[in-house]
Amino acid sequence: MPLRRAVISDIPQLMMIWERAVRATHHFLPEEGIAFFRPLVRDCYLPTLEVWVSESSKKAAAGFMALTGARLDMLFIDPAYQGQGHGCRLVEQAVRLYGPLTVDVNEQNETAVTFYMGRGFRLMGGPQQMA
């Protein structure tokens, strides 16, 4: 599972991963919410943040994370690759780069809360903030 920095030409594939992952894990987000966030993720976040891609054995993007220093802004794994270590490897890379991380997690996304708690994150400052 190689990791690499994303390039601008990755954005269409990362957007497909983002949308599949959101639909699989963000059941609380209505269709209007997905439509609202789609252009922000595509046009504002992915082109400007530090984005890392985890590749499958077939060299296809399996997931990605976006960082602002030690703040994990996004972590999305294609549902077809969830549970295969891609998220763990991305978080480990972020820790290697920046040390302890912070992340905001929607408490309704129980999968994400469980994932981060399993990686040693703890709640701080409120139910959605973890470090």
Q: Model confidence over 24-79: pLDDT tens digits?
A: 887 788 889 899 999 999 999 999 999 999 998 888 899 999 999 999 999 999 99
Q: How many CA atoms lie within 13 A of 125 on its CB side?
A: 9
Instruction: Tell me which residue of 116, 122, 72, 124 sits closest to 95, measured CA to CA.
Output: 72
Q: Work out the angle at residue 131's Cα, subtended by the Cα atoms of residues 33 and 114, and round it to the nearest 5 degrees.
A: 60
pLDDT, tens digit, 9 for 90 and up, residues 101-118:
888 887 777 788 878 888
Query: pTM for the whole thing?
Result: 0.88
Domain boundaries, the chain: 3-100
Position 128 pLDDT exceeds 90: no
pLDDT 10s digits, 86-98? 999 999 999 999 9
In CATH terms, the superfamily for domain 3-100 is: Gcn5-related N-acetyltransferase (GNAT) (3.40.630.30)
Q: Are strands 50-55 and 3-5 parallel, antiparallel or unpaired?
A: antiparallel
Tokens of 74: 């996004």
CA 27 to CA 23: how far, in whole Å?
7
